[in-house]
Amino acid sequence: MQNLVLNQSVRLNNGVEMPVFGLGVWKTRSGKECVDAVLSALELGYRHIDTAKIYGNESDVGEAIRKSGVPRNELFITTKLWNSDQKDPRKYLEESLKTIGVDQIDLYLIHFPVAGTRKQAWKELEKAYKDGLARAIGVSNYTIPHLQELFQYAEITPAVNQVEYHPFLNQNDLLNTCKKNNIVLEAYSPLAHGQRISDPKLAKIAKKYGKTPAQILIRWAIDKGMVVIPKSVKRERILENSQVFDFSLSGSDLQEMETWNENFRTCWDPTGA
Ligand SMILES: NC(=O)c1ccc[n+]([C@@H]2O[C@H](COP(=O)([O-])OP(=O)(O)OC[C@H]3O[C@@H](n4cnc5c(N)ncnc54)[C@H](OP(=O)(O)O)[C@@H]3O)[C@@H](O)[C@H]2O)c1
């Protein structure tokens, strides 16, 4: 099957094109596991990789990129500012660039809205963006109150808010707030970290489309207008997860999946942070 992954992107609020689909590498072990996963993804047509300093595998992402031979300007790489580094974002962004081996990052995110330092961190990110260290800047794990607070002091609206999002944690109010403010919502843990892959409701829909549960969850995120970054270290799953551009979910199936929300979180909860 022709892999159409490359053809789909969303235009961020500053005009930068971001692929709607990419590979996440949280918990992908540094070394051979991460290099092989990223290399497989790039060979299979992925052009978007999501890492973070705290994942400890930025250098492996860089190594895989160099091994792949894919030109830098065809790639979209995201990394993130770790919580304890929020007092000096530029220093840590420069460190990440060096570790990955690139001159500029495509997207740099505040990893988590740490009380006390998130405002200063955003103002510093704005400066780094203006100086060309990142093609776009954004936030992660921001709830509606965090965004509202940021709007009071931000000169630049975040291009992206990366949050946990899947049918079992369907945060429509947050999605609508992001859309209204021209912020792309990027769904992390779109497979609910693998914990709901055997859900019978999901199996039923998957059977109907001749697709796998993972493919339904990924397509659901895309059909709702989000960017999505499933993680796998297995080449066959990396391929499977990318084969979601030859179908879309019907209105009635999308509607049914809207009823699955359980506020089921697999990752950290930023509420009240
Ligand atoms: N900003 C943040 O705070 C934050 C937090 C969490 C995640 N993220 C980002 O989002 C990415 C994705 O989230 P995630 O890693 O938490 O979880 P995920 O993508 O929802 O799920 C990954 C899990 O599902 C398994 N899996 C992958 N493809 C599968 C398939 N086709 N069928 C069955 N199981 C499959 C993986 O196992 P195998 O690897 O063994 O295949 C792994 O255990 C992360 O890697 C990271 O880049 C960001």
Q: What is the pLDDT of residues 223-242, one digit of tens each?
A: 999 999 999 999 999 999 99
Which of 26, 212, 242 is the best mutation target for the ligand 1 pocket, counting ligand atoms within 8 Å of the beta carbon and taking the most?
Answer: 26
Residue 6 in contact with ligand 1 by CB distance below 6 A = no
Structure confidence by residue, pLDDT tens digits, 122-157: 999 999 999 999 999 999 999 999 999 999 999 999
Structure confidence by residue, pLDDT tens digits, 67-106: 999 999 999 999 999 999 999 999 999 999 999 999 999 9
- Nearest residue by C-alpha to atom 34 in ligand 1: 194
Query: What domains can be seen in the chain, in order of their start residue?
Result: 8-260 (3.20.20.100)
- Which of the following is catalytic: 46, 55, 129, 142? 55
Q: Is 139 within 8 Å of 145 (Cβ atoms)?
A: no
Residue 24 in contact with ligand 1 by CB distance below 6 A = yes
Q: Is 89 within 8 Å of 81 (Cβ atoms)?
A: yes
Q: β-strand 184-188 against 160-164: which pairing, if any?
A: parallel
Is residue 92 annotated as part of the catalytic site, yes or no? no
Please tell me the distance from the alpha carbon of residue 50 to that of residue 170, in angstroms, as a whole number: 21
Contacts of 120 (CB under 8 A, 6+ apart): 86, 87
Residue 191 in contact with ligand 1 by CB distance below 6 A = yes
Q: Is 141 left (phi over 0), alpha (psi -120 to 50) or beta?
A: left
